[in-house]
Amino acid sequence: MRNCFPPATIDASRADRAVKIIQTASLTDAGENPVQEQRERRVKLGIDGREFQSPGLTGIGRYIRNFLNWLSENRTDVTPVVFLNQRCRYSPPSGRVQTVTINEHFTPVWDQVSLPAAIKAGGLDVFISPYVKMPFAAGCPVVLIINDLIPLRLPARDSGSTPVKNVYFRLAAEAAVKRAAAIISISEFTKNEAVRVLGAAEEKIEVVRLGLEPRFRPTRGGAGTLEKSLGLAAGEYILYVGQFRTTKNTAALIRAYSALGEELKDKYRLVLGGGESGEYERLRALANSLGLAERVLFTGYVSDEELPSLLSNCAVFVYPSLYEGFGYPPLEAMACGAPVISSGAASLKEISGEAAMLVDPPSADKIAEAMTAMLSTPGLADSYAEKGVEHARAFTVESMSKGFMRVAEKAAGSRGA
């Protein structure tokens, strides 16, 4: 590829440090050259950035963005290189974060031909793939981040699943976990899944839990702009925010809301935040068939700016998902001071701990019982809100990013060993 990377730039602070190193070098023995040592410590790190596609970011896209922002601010010794396709929209946080755009028309070719060629041209020390697949001819150590194994564990509930795709996914995943230099799992649950389902070597996997952005915190001043535009008063709605996939089990939440007593339904509307994709039309039809057209509100896509206020002002946040490799939404709600009812399935019990009221299995009747208790028992919602805020503080972008770099640098160091 031609002109894969922009010319390197050096900011003033880096230039000052370089001068100091050169000055120090003149006072040392030739065999103890700090400039050489400094160069040897530098890391050129690549990452697959195809999650940066509109509209909105997935959970994977958000943690990649947060990781790159943290690197830009805290690790001047690391040069990140983000590999994108023609549909991506990404603005680097600084000139040190480089981007490479490669047209993608057939994903396997992009994965195994175009991407490896670009990685080699860029002279990377290590490459991070946020998927259970890797470029096998990358020419440098590859670190996998395993998020979940939904296509293998719940293929019937994966809207994009086909028998051919499932076979390809399994073969690619099994090969990748064997060939990868290291593996990051975002939860103990997902680590165990990778070992049991894919045969991954347990000693190759390190668990690094994801981090929450500082913007997720309780807001003040009542209903925000989005709530006002939707006619929602603070504390008078039950909230779900996420994708409308079958694995998210949102239909069970609608049925649970329908089963609430009339007094609770009169007081609290059900608000479903998410883009108009997946099961969106079927969920709207379900709400209408249950006579809930005026009580169930679909917000459409919720922006990053609008989300903290929407979470802060709900009466309770409900997350009935059947399978998660981690589970961002309950933690985001906790950080914003919302009491949380969560499914206890898959990783959710591990990630939410005792800070959420857990429902397992997340059936409509169990969810209805939990909502009734949370909304009717004096002091219960406040208790869960307090526990949630404290629990969410343990999940930081800094700890996540340091964990990612610890694994990546160890893998880079293994090159040629």
**Domains identified in the chain and CATH numbers:** 42-211+397-413 (3.40.50.2000), 225-392 (3.40.50.2000)
Q: What is the pLDDT along the chain (417 residues), one digit of tens a residue?
A: 333 333 333 233 322 332 232 233 333 333 434 333 443 468 999 999 999 986 678 899 999 999 999 999 999 999 999 999 999 999 999 999 999 999 999 999 999 999 999 999 999 999 999 999 999 999 999 999 999 999 888 876 665 668 888 888 899 999 999 999 999 999 999 999 999 999 999 999 999 999 999 999 999 777 888 999 999 999 999 999 999 999 999 999 999 999 999 999 999 999 999 999 999 999 999 999 999 999 999 999 999 999 999 999 999 999 999 999 999 999 999 999 999 999 999 999 999 999 999 999 999 999 999 999 999 999 999 999 999 999 999 999 999 999 999 999 999 997 655
Residues whose CB falls within 8 Å of the CB of residue 202, separated by 6 or more in sequence, listed in order: 191, 195
Q: Which helix (H) or strand (E) holds 390?
A: helix 380-392
CA 108 from chain centre, in angstroms, equals: 23
Residue 214 identity (one-letter amino acid) = P
pLDDT, tens digit (0-9, with 9 covering 90-100), for 50-90: 999 866 788 999 999 999 999 999 999 999 999 999 999 99
Determine contact, residues 83/100, Cβ cutoff 8 Å. Answer: yes
Determine contact, residues 110/381, Cβ cutoff 8 Å. Answer: no
Q: Which two tokens stand for residue 60?
A: 């994977």
Determine contact, residues 234/272, Cβ cutoff 8 Å. Answer: no
pLDDT, tens digit (0-9, with 9 covering 90-100), for 115-135: 999 999 999 999 999 999 999
Nearest to 180 by CA among 113, 254, 128, 219: 128
Residue 284's Cβ-count burial label (10 Å; 0-12, 13-18, 19+) is middle
Query: For residues 117 and 113, what is the distance between their CA atoms, to the nearest angstrom?
Result: 6
Q: Which two tokens stand for residue 259?
A: 């089963």
Determine contact, residues 78/43, Cβ cutoff 8 Å. Answer: yes
Please give the model's pTM, rounded to 2 decimal places: 0.86
Residue for token pair 């329908």: 258
Determine contact, residues 254/270, Cβ cutoff 8 Å. Answer: yes
SS3 for 155-189 is HHHCCCCCHHHHHHHHHHHHHHHHHCCEEEECCHH
Determine contact, residues 400/209, Cβ cutoff 8 Å. Answer: yes
Torsion of CA 172, 178, 183, 186, to 10 degrees: 50
- For 174, other C-beta atoms within 10 Å of its C-beta total 16
Mode of pairing for the β-strands spanning 340-343 and 357-359: parallel
* Alpha helix positions (H), 317-363: 328-335, 348-352
CA 365 from chain centre, in angstroms, equals: 30
